[in-house]
Amino acid sequence: MSDRTNERLSVFKTYKLYVGGKFPRSESGRVYEVTDPKGKWLANAPQSSRKDARDAVVAARKAFGGWSGATAYNRGQVLYRVAEMLEGRRDQFTREVADAEGLSKSKAAAVVDATIDRWVWYAGWTDKIAQVVGGGNPVAGPYFNLSSPEPTGVVAVLAPQESSFLGLVSVVAPVIATGNTAVVIASEKAPLPALSLGEVLATSDVPGGVVNVLSGRTAEIAAPLASHQDVNAIDLAGADEVLAKELEIAAADNLKRVLRPQPVDYALTPGTDRLTAFLETKTVWHPTGSLGASGSAY
Amino acid sequence: MASAFEYAPAPESRSVVDIAPSYGLFIDGEFTEAADGKVFKTVSPSTEEVLSEIAQAGEADVDRAVKAARKAFEKWSALPGSERAKYLFRIARIIQERSRELAVLETLDNGKPIKETRDADLPLVAAHFFYYAGWADKLGHAGFGADPRPLGVAGQVIPWNFPLLMLAWKIAPALATGNTVVLKPAETTPLSALFFADVCRQAGLPRGVVNILPGYGDAGAALVAHPDVNKVAFTGSTAVGKEIARTVAGSHKKLTLELGGKGANIVFDDAPIDQAVEGIVNGIFFNQGQVCCAGSRLLVQESVQEELLDSLKRRLSTLRLGDPLDKNTDIGAINSEEQLSRITSLVERGEAEGAERWSPACELPEAGYWFAPTLFTNVTQAHTVARDEIFGPVLSVLTFRTPDEAVAKANNTPYGLSAGIWTEKGSRILAVANKLRAGVVWSNTFNKFDPTSPFGGYKESGFGREGGRHGLEAYLDV
């Protein structure tokens, strides 16, 4: 009997949002119960409000200049550092993914491995995408011009609902690999791996505000993001058909770039779609010779 | 200022173009009346002369045209790329052969100077068809996968400022990638699109691959909303672009939008002033300023403001406004009465808000729609003339002291289409170009276009790119 009284009581974790490099509770003071697929209580997750969403946009905008202005090589280093941190927490994420998605330990471990590899894959893209989708154009005239991809800005990301970790990373990594900053809404019923990802980002070299993670009701948080005038794009991966249409209509107000939800097998190696969806193309022209009155001479 | 030289009239002959008294809609390879028999008139903006009576497309016509395009899609998309390429090469060649006729036609219907239709529009139109013709059998190499597929029927709505050029930007990539097309030209400039239908006929293009539906906004709206259209491409105002984005929301239609702009033309103190002045003039007075990427905000470094403005005013005094068919005309007519009144009211607002208005001595013709080249100085960022797209020959001048201030002011707009940089310092060009949120940045030049080069906007100037390899993406299922 004395054994039982001496059994160690585990320490629960208070899951918090990740906004601007900090871990606030929801300003609304609300939480909601997160359970595993069998209904077992796992934790209380913050239930973010509109105000939390707006605060996250402010943080993401503030971080955009520095992150988009960093060299692609530097961004690649930072992203790779995240993969290192993830690898170190492999067991934690395996537990969390197993709980969140009702997977066996070995299946959850395979998902976590795939997720870490996915992150590494995107880390390697930062300094290659410009060469693949940009380049010089053979202009018919005495001009040099160059088309280069540039990040579109602050991207609202509705993470996939079913794939709480692999799906999450598959939609977040491409957004920031290309220099955007992100406001991410975690899977509504399985938000815990996403909130833990925030802890990983905070302890890697990703500047605060580059990724902001909110948990709560997807529709409630997404609405103010879709209509927000300082959000430049929205990935609707985690929206159902009805919500996606509503959000796309709201997004038209400032002509956000919209990535519509589509069936995706996150286990497969992705293409470049999610990278290019949040890139602009800038074409810069310059005369190459003496153009008399209409341009600069050499 | 009295001109040192007087020019003798040098009108281009309009006898090279034969405009019929009436035209139908072009559906499934035939000209046909509108289902409800409606017609409208197109006039020459420089004389108000009625040029022709045009069938006005309505919802039933849109449906008929989409059906024709759908039917044609099956065979057209199944053609080997090399065969589609040959049709496009034929079209390009026929446009070159008929370029004088088409240039005169465009000038008559649009009001823009023959100098511009002849030397800018038509060569670019042909070049676009040539460029995309060559892509038709090389799509597997374009970076969108080994065998990218067309989308289906493309519904395309184009504006009146570059009627034939916008048609080329839309139709050439659509056909090269294997889509079929229903295109609605603007109601004030339907003629060159109808002549293009004849080019398609001469090229032997299969029926239904290209359908042309002249009409008003209601026809455009019906086309955009048609359930059997797979791709929507629009060039025009930001307000209409937003409406279209709402219309296609929740559908599977792929959308690209080329919308408004309020381009900043930034002149640094070390810029070659004479060349900058030419670039500024070209940036805002080309096509009477009716250009989405016009450099309508001049940002000049304070230390050279006086010198630059003196030079600019002197140059503006030499611009010749008048008969668009005259080969020496620099500034033609405003495209329509409606556009003229929009320009007029925005300029009046600029004056009322306290900006200082200046125009060179300039006689305006009696008939037609005309607006003298206009400068506003003492403009602040809050002024309407610094914020709203005027789409006319009106330049707002603002000043700055440091490169950072120039960038901040240039980016202080919901638009993000174009910008210009004038400086002899290469590092400054590159640094400033990096920071500008605009899809096209011209350094030490302005308003240059080329089919190989992607064009399109950031922010509320729309999304998607036209031209170049990038332009293919809008018409492929990728």
Minimal CA separation from A73 to chain B, in Å? 17
Both tokens of B251, joined, read: 């559908």
Q: Where are the alpha helices (DSSP H) in A89-187?
A: 90-101, 105-123, 129-133, 166-177
Phi and psi at residue B112, in whole multiples of 5°? -80, 155
Phi and psi at residue B101, in whole multiples of 5°? -60, -45
Contact at CB, B444 and A296, closer than 8 angstroms: yes
For residue A244, give the nearest of B250, B282, B429 by CB distance.
B250
Helix (H) or strand (E) holding B161: none
Contact at CB, B242 and A245, closer than 8 angstroms: no
Distance of CA B351 to the CA centre of its chain: 28
Arithmetic mean of pLDDT, B173-179: 98
Instruction: Write the CB contacts of A6 (distance below 8 Å, at least 6 apart in sequence).
Output: none
Model confidence pLDDT, tens digit, residues B63-115? 999 999 999 999 999 999 999 999 999 999 999 999 999 999 999 999 999 99
The answer to whether the beta carbons of residues B419 and B263 sit under 8 Å apart is yes
Residues of chain A positioned with their CB less than 8 A from the CB of B266: none
The answer to whether the beta carbons of residues A108 and A94 sit under 8 Å apart is yes
Model confidence pLDDT, tens digit, residues B144-157? 999 999 999 999 99
Arithmetic mean of pLDDT, B296-325: 97
* pLDDT at residue A293 tops 60: no
* pLDDT at residue A252 tops 70: yes
Arithmetic mean of pLDDT, B305-316: 98
CA distance A271 to A253: 29
Arithmetic mean of pLDDT, B157-183: 98
pLDDT for position B254: 98
CA distance A6 to A143: 80
Confidence band, pLDDT 50/70/90 cuts, at residue B7: confident
Model confidence pLDDT, tens digit, residues B375-413? 999 999 999 999 999 999 999 999 999 999 999 999 999
Q: What angle do CA A83, A86, A90 make, to 5 degrees?
A: 135
Backbone dihedral region of B103: left (phi > 0), alpha (psi from -120 to 50 degrees) or beta? alpha
CA distance A183 to A209: 9
* pLDDT at residue B322 tops 70: yes
Q: Name the residue among A162, A75, A167 with its Cα closest to residue A112.
A: A167
Residues of chain A positioned with their CB less than 8 A from the CB of B463: 255, 257
Assess B429–A contact: CB distance below 8 Å, yes or no.
Answer: yes
Both tokens of A18, joined, read: 């990740």
Confidence band, pLDDT 50/70/90 cuts, at residue A122: very high
Interface residues on A facing B, Cβ-Cβ cutoff 8 A: 132-133, 137-141, 143, 145, 147, 152, 232, 241, 244-245, 248-249, 251-255, 257, 271, 273, 280-287, 291, 293-297
**Core vs surface per residue B443-454: b (16+ CB within 10 A) or e:** bbbbbbbbbbbb
Confidence band, pLDDT 50/70/90 cuts, at residue A91: very high
Both tokens of B263, joined, read: 């381009």
Model confidence pLDDT, tens digit, residues B438-452? 999 999 999 999 999
Substitution target from A128, A133, A145, A278 for chain B, most B beta carbons within 10 A: A145
Arithmetic mean of pLDDT, B215-238: 98
Residue identified by tokens 């002033």 is B273
Phi and psi at residue B235, in whole multiples of 5°? -125, 130
Cα dihedral value B29, B152, B132, B201, nearest 10? 0
A4-18, A137-151, A189-203, B422-436: which has the minimum mean pLDDT? A4-18
Residue identified by tokens 């019906």 is B222
The answer to whether the beta carbons of residues A45 and A31 sit under 8 Å apart is yes
* pLDDT at residue B471 tops 90: yes
What pTM was computed for the model?
Answer: 0.96
pLDDT for position B1: 44
